[in-house]
């Protein structure tokens, strides 16, 4: 049962030839808060430029920006975020490749957004990728239902930083099959591998990595200082694992 589950979640990595060499590190970041001054992420264009320089130094060629859409906390909406994104893209002028998605908090407002087809997603071939986060300490009734409904509506949901949810850590044998049935892909934060969120997320992220379960890894970058302190050592753990990270995003380069 567990082996079947692991096989179904395991990403299909392209061959090293198809991906252009023996590189195993991520080219694309999936999940970061680089869009300036729209949430708790980077606070200015200057900070965003510094973050992009840092990401490039680590080998990244591009990023999928995922600003929060969290009603009552970060009241962003797709149109406003697209405007800020367009302005940032003009400033960056091709130095670094950027795509826009969002990090949605899983509450009932997402059902309304689905009805209106007003969802900010990453277009990846024919797939519409939507990043969703749960609360950290207690599950909500809407949580898994949001993933299921998105999947049924033709989106590909991705659960953000699965390793950080306390209830998932404590009841993995219940939660991992439940998430698998929802159709969601799993995303982990690279910094978790280096202890950014403490020992429990670190241990869980390392266990998930050993099983090659997460389909996507992200910096979840909010501050430039995270890069040196957590992302760089986390990337070293990923490189040691031998897994080809974020291979699915290489379709973005096409
Ligand atoms: Fe985030």
**Domain membership flag for residue 191:** yes
63, containing H or E segment: strand 62-65
> Cα(220) to centroid of ligand 1, in Å?
5
Residue 25 pLDDT class (50, 70, 90 cuts): low
Between the CA of 91 and the centroid of ligand 1 the distance, in Å, is 23
Distance 60 CA to ligand 1 centre (A): 18
Domain presence at residue 1: no
**Phi/psi of residue 161, nearest 5 degrees:** 30, 65
CA dihedral (191, 123, 101, 66) in degrees, to 10, reads 10
Q: What percent of the chain has pLDDT over 70?
A: 90
The predicted pLDDT at position 3 comes to 36
* Distance of alpha carbon 114 from alpha carbon 111, whole angstroms: 5
pLDDT of res. 254? 60
More confident call, 17 vs 250: 250
Using DSSP's 3-state secondary structure scheme, residue 123 falls into strand
Please tell me the distance from the alpha carbon of residue 159 to that of residue 182, in angstroms, as a whole number.
Answer: 10
pLDDT score recorded for residue 12 = 38
- How many CB atoms lie under 10 A from the CB of residue 17? 8
The contacts of residue 7 (CB under 8 Å, 6+ apart) are: none
Residue 13, pLDDT above cutoff 80? no
Residue 19 confidence (pLDDT)? 37
Q: How would residue 6 be classed by pLDDT, with cut points 50, 70 and 90?
A: very low
**Ligand 1 centroid to residue 209 C-alpha, Å:** 19
Mean pLDDT over 30-39 rounds to 98
The crossing angle, in degrees rounded to 10, of helices 2-9 and 172-182 is: 50
Rounded distance from Cα 31 to ligand 1 centre (Å): 6
Using alpha carbons only, give the angle 228, 157, 215 rounded to the nearest 5 degrees.
50
Q: Looking at the domain assignment, is residue 136 inside a domain? A: yes
Q: What whole-number distance in Å separates Cα of residue 230 and Cα of residue 197?
A: 10
Cα(21) to centroid(ligand 1), Å: 30
Is residue 171 a part of any domain in this protein? Answer: yes
Q: What is the pLDDT of residue 214?
A: 87
pTM assigned to the model: 0.90
* pLDDT-based confidence at residue 250 (cuts at 50, 70, 90): confident
- CATH number of the domain where residue 81 is located: 3.20.20.140
> How far from each other are the two terminal CA atoms of the chain, in whole angstroms?
37
Which range among 11-15, 83-87, 147-151, 199-203 shows the weakest confidence by mean pLDDT? 11-15
* pLDDT above 70 (res 11): no
Residue 2 falls inside a structural domain: no
Distance 102 CA to ligand 1 centre (A): 9
Q: What confidence score (pLDDT) does residue 5 get?
A: 36
Residue 60: CB atoms within 10 A of its CB come to 22
- Position 24 scores a pLDDT of 56
- Using alpha carbons, select from 38, 125, 137 the residue that is nearest to residue 85: 38
Domain, as residue range, for 243: 23-253
Residue 150 lies in a domain: yes
Residue 86's CB is within 10 A of a number of other CB atoms, namely 11
Q: What confidence category does residue 23 fall into, taking pLDDT thresholds of 50, 70 and 90?
A: low
Q: Please check whether residue 13 lies inside any domain of the structure.
A: no
Structural domains of the chain, count: 1
76 pLDDT higher than 70: yes
Neighbours of 113 (CB within 10 A): 18
Closest CA to 243 of 193, 168, 178: 193
Average pLDDT estimate for 62-81? 97
Better-scored residue on pLDDT, 50 or 20: 50
> For residue 50, how far is the Cα from the chain centroid?
21
Distance 68 CA to ligand 1 centre (A): 7
**Is the CB of residue 202 less than 8 Å from the CB of residue 192?**
yes
Mean residue pLDDT of the chain comes to 90
In a domain, 10, yes or no: no
Mean pLDDT of 195-224: 96
Ligand 1 centre to CA of 29 (Å) is: 12
Structure confidence at residue 26 (pLDDT) = 72
């Amino acid at each position: 049962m567990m082996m079947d589950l692991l096989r179904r979640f395991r990403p299909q990595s392209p061959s090293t030839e198809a991906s252009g060499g023996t590189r195993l590190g991520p080219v694309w970041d999936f999940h970061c808060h680089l869009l300036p001054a729209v949430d708790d992420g980077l606070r200015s264009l200057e900070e965003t430029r510094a973050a992009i320089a840092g990401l490039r130094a680590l080998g990244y060629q591009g990023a999928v920006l995922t600003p929060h859409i969290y009603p009552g906390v970060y009241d962003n909406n797709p149109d406003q975020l697209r405007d800020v994104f367009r302005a940032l893209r003009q400033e960056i002028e091709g130095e670094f490749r950027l795509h826009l998605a969002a990090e949605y908090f899983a509450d009932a407002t997402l059902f309304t957004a689905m009805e209106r087809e007003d969802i900010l997603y990453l277009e990846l071939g024919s797939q519409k990728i939507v990043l969703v986060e749960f609360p950290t300490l207690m599950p909500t009734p809407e949580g898994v239902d949001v993933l299921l409904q998105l999947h049924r509506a033709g989106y590909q949901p991705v659960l953000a930083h699965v390793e950080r949810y306390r209830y998932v850590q404590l009841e993995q044998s219940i939660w991992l099959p439940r998430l698998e049935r929802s159709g969601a892909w799993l995303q982990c934060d690279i910094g978790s591998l280096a202890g950014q969120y403490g020992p429990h997320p670190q241990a869980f992220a390392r266990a998930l990595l050993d099983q090659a379960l997460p389909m996507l890894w992200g910096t979840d970058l909010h501050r430039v200082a995270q890069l040196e302190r957590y992302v760089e050592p986390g990337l070293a753990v990923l490189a040691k694992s031998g897994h080809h990270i974020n291979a699915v995003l290489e379709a973005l380069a096409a």
